[in-house]
Structure 1
């Protein structure tokens, strides 16, 4: 009977290790998803800022009145 108890104890210890590893995987997966969300949000914001800054700063065209014209 001592051998059976030892096997049960080993099984229980392995199950605890497996549960701990599963929890760690869940935490890391959640952190990875959050990081991906943050990166995609920051890229979207950067693209939006680039687009809005290029729109808000008009570039002089060839026929711009800012350029000197011959008299």
Structure 2
């Protein structure tokens, strides 16, 4: 986690996970409240953050979350 400065100051958090995403739009569509397989966390991240970057690799995926400080 770090902060940036300049015209658009923000807080950035980076998280790496060894799992796999179900599809390219994971977290973009609101999951059903009755869904037993989760998916709500990534959806909430997209609702709360100004920018969400997702990078998939052979070892899992990395999320980079951006939130403006002002």
Give TM class, smaller chain.
under 0.3
Q: Which structure's residues are more often strand, by fraction?
A: 2
Tell me which of the two structures has the higher relative contact order, counting C-alpha pairs closer than 8 angstroms and 6 or more residues apart. 2
| TM-score normalised per structure 1 | 0.22
Structure with more helix by fraction: 1
Q: With the length of structure 2 as denominator, give the TM-score of the two structures.
A: 0.22
Structure index of larger Rg: 1
